[in-house]
Amino acid sequence: MELDLENPLSNFHHFCPATTAPSLFPVESDHMAAQNYIDSLGTGDLHVSLRREAISSISQFSCKLGPFSSYLAINYLDRFLSSRGMLVLQQSKTWVLRLVSISCVSLAAKMTKTEFSLTDFQGDRGLIFDAQTVERMEYLILGALKWRMRSITPFAFVSFFISLFKLKEAPVIQAIKARAVELIFKAQIDTNFLEFKPSIIAASALLSACHELFPLQFPSFRRAISSCSCVNKENMIKCYNSMQEIDMVSSSNTPANALDRHVSSSGSEISTAGATTVTSVTQRDIKRRKVNDYGTIIKWSTSLRSKSEVLIHGPL
């Protein structure tokens, strides 16, 4: 059955016809990288560079599959390396890491039922792996992940948190969701976000999007998410601040490689015309600041203030 990242377990078990986001909170940690792997990335520049190289390969291999397949493949990569694949990061042979990367992409394509061929994946990029070699690596990855391939990612929680905002205007919902998804893609590349649960990343991305697009309504958005008992407020503040930092850095740089272009284009693929308009205005006008608590609000521009009042009629 095809995997939908927004509803990863829906209709998967015959005894569970509809899986809702609240039921995913207790098991989301099972779909995260192990702590020892996260610690190794925090202390070794070599491991970070190798991970970056693997992600770049995944981006190249999955460029024709769409951003969500790429996201799923990177999730498999991190979970595999944190389970039994740390030896891969210690290999001097780069082809091993390349094989892992293409196998993760292949598995992601199969899970999302995306048509592909290994020839299309590998193109003219040097060493070509045959189907049997990739299949053997796929089985190693499947074993390391304990066959939990229906990954619970931040996308599974986005609609749930948005529903807490009690919004009625479709353009507003689309604008917030599109911007949050864009931030989630950016966060996956940064190793600092591996420590946060998918739900925390989703909540932080939505808060950041709301803060950026509709600052007048931000206190209401913040109270809505903070009211959720499944959200660790301290971790969310930490994740939110980190997300603000990477967004400011990435917004000031021109995409320099295939991975950046792939992530940058994902927002435009899912945005509506209204969402794109709001986002373009925001990037030009907003001056963001890091906040250490939810009592401090970032500065907003006069022009964006008037636009948010037009889109949202009255306080939420």
**Residues listed for the chain:** 316
Q: Structural domain of residue 76, as residue ranges?
A: 21-144
Is 105 domain-assigned? yes
Same domain, 178 and 304: yes
Same domain, 183 and 267: yes
Same domain, 184 and 91: no
What distance in Å separates the CA atoms of residue 237 and residue 296, rounded to the nearest whole number? 12
Bigger pLDDT: 272 vs 69: 69
Is 25 domain-assigned? yes
Is 3 domain-assigned? no
Is 1 domain-assigned? no
Same domain, 164 and 305: yes
Q: What is the mean pLDDT of the chain?
A: 76
**Domains contained in the chain, number:** 2
Instruction: Evaluate whether 165 touches 220 at the Cβ level (below 8 Å).
Output: yes
Q: What CATH number is given to the structural domain containing 166?
A: 1.10.472
CA proximity to 308, closest of 219, 222, 215: 215
Same domain, 205 and 86: no
pLDDT (mean) for 243-256: 61
Please say which residue of 144, 163, 193 terminates a domain. Answer: 144
Same domain, 194 and 278: yes
Is 12 domain-assigned? no
Please say which residue of 92, 119, 144 terminates a domain. Answer: 144
pLDDT band at 39 (very low <50, low <70, confident <90, very high): confident
Query: Residue 258 has what pLDDT?
Result: 38
pLDDT of 57 > 70? The answer is yes
Please say which residue of 117, 144, 171 terminates a domain. Answer: 144
Is 121 domain-assigned? yes
What distance in Å separates the CA atoms of residue 233 and residue 65, rounded to the nearest whole number? 35
Same domain, 171 and 307: yes
Same domain, 221 and 275: yes
Task: Report the b/e string of 131-142 with b at 16+ CB within 10 A.
Answer: eeebeebbeebb
132-190 confidence digits (pLDDT tens): 999 999 999 999 999 999 999 999 999 999 999 988 899 999 999 999 999 999 999 99
Same domain, 38 and 107: yes
Proportion of the chain in helix, strand, coil states, percent, rounded to 5: 65, 0, 30
Distances from the Cα of 181 to the Cα of 63, 77, 207, 258, 269, angstroms: 18, 20, 12, 19, 11
Same domain, 94 and 169: no
Query: Residue 280 has what pLDDT?
Result: 41
Is 241 domain-assigned? yes
What distance in Å separates the CA atoms of residue 61 and residue 72, rounded to the nearest whole number? 13
Query: Residue 225 has what pLDDT?
Result: 93
| Angle at the Cα of 58 from the Cα atoms of 53 and 63, rounded to 5 degrees | 130
Q: Which of 2-11, 31-40, 205-214 has maximum average pLDDT?
A: 205-214
Q: What CATH number is given to the structural domain containing 35?
A: 1.10.472.10
Same domain, 279 and 305: yes
> CA Rg, the chain, in Å?
20
Query: Residue 67 has what pLDDT?
Result: 87
Same domain, 176 and 89: no
What distance in Å separates the CA atoms of residue 79 and residue 153, rounded to the nearest whole number? 12
Quick one: DSSP state of residue 72?
H
pLDDT of 219 > 80? The answer is yes
Is 6 domain-assigned? no
70-101 confidence digits (pLDDT tens): 999 999 999 998 887 666 656 656 788 888 99
Contacts of 165 (CB under 8 A, 6+ apart): 176, 210, 220, 221, 224, 316
